[in-house]
Amino acid sequence: MVSARDLLKEIDQGYRMEKPKHCTPELYKLMTWCWEQDPGCRPTFEELVAHLEKLLREEVTTHVDLNQFSESAYGNVENKIKGEKL
């Protein structure tokens, strides 16, 4: 597993996680928009709400398929950061 420090370095260098299997392309596109390197290019809260509302109104009933979710692929970084100096 990558340390929190190394993860932050990778993110700073442009790393972004791949689209999770349980996530639709539309939701992943919104996620990557939120992860833009330049904060000025990220959506405002109002834009984020508008896009989420649009996703919820679409005919697709499931944007997160929990049948495809793998708990082992995710971890709680917050708990690991507490004792680590970044």
| Residues 13-60: tens digit of each pLDDT | 999 999 988 888 999 999 999 999 999 999 999 999 999 999 888 876
* b/e burial code for range 33-71 (CB count within 10 A of at least 16 → b): eeeeeeeeeeeeeeeeeebeeeeeeeeeeebeeeeeeee
Structural domains in the chain plus CATH codes: 4-81 (1.10.510.10)
Q: Is 47 in a helix, a strand, or coil?
A: helix
User: pTM to 2 decimals?
Assistant: 0.64
Of 73, 72, 66, whose CA–CA distance to 22 is shortest? 66
Question: What value does the CA radius of gyration of the chain take, rounded to a whole number of Å?
Answer: 15
